[in-house]
Amino acid sequence: MRNILKLLLYPFLGNSRSTTKTAPSLTPVQSDKLNVFSGTFPSEIDATDYALGLIKGASLSDDLGGALIEPNDVEIIYGIDRISAARPMLHFVGPRQIASEANTYFLLSDRGYATDKLVDDRVSFLGQCTVN
């Protein structure tokens, strides 16, 4: 009787077996490299505001030609001690500039940002690196 009902109701209800669904795969990041910028800021709060675009007209997004930078895309390293501790983990790919007086590093994910369109001199582009 149960099988007859299944056969009759199949066109309306479909398959009644429970199936396990697979989770959608996450889209991979375009690259495993990071863009490294350096700058000098009076405090970590000012550096964070600049990186996340919380100040109109004075943000990393504006300086990169209006690129949309999400909080997940940028990491801020503030302070000479923290930069010195992080430097051994940054393996630069290709040529890089030396940031002698900078007290802040911005690590920006490589999602196609046009780093060559850096407009202002608040930060300078050091190069691309991988992190180990």
Kindly give the confidence (pLDDT) of every residue in the chain, 132 residues in length, as a single tens digit, with 9 standing for 90 and above.
Answer: 666 666 666 665 656 555 555 544 444 445 678 888 999 999 999 999 999 888 777 888 888 887 778 888 889 999 999 998 988 888 887 776 666 678 999 998 877 666 666 777 788 888 888 877
Distance between CA atoms of residues 31 and 28, nearest Å: 8
Look at residue 121 and tell me if it is in a domain.
yes
**C-alpha separations of 63 from 10, 70, 89, 130 in Å:** 60, 15, 26, 23
Residue 118 structural domain? 29-131
Look at residue 7 and tell me if it is in a domain.
no
What are 60's two structure tokens?
């990393």
Distance between CA atoms of residues 26 and 71, nearest Å: 18
Look at residue 54 and tell me if it is in a domain.
yes
Query: Quick one: pLDDT at residue 27?
Result: 47
Cβ atoms of residues 127 and 36 within 8 Å: yes
Give the number of C-alpha atoms closer than 13 A to the C-alpha of residue 131, restricted to the C-beta side: 14
Look at residue 94 and tell me if it is in a domain.
yes
According to DSSP, residue 87 is labeled G
Look at residue 4 and tell me if it is in a domain.
no
Count of domains in the chain?
A: 1
Query: Quick one: pLDDT at residue 23?
Result: 47
Look at residue 12 and tell me if it is in a domain.
no
- Secondary structure element (H or E) that encloses residue 24, with its range: none
Look at residue 98 and tell me if it is in a domain.
yes
Look at residue 13 and tell me if it is in a domain.
no
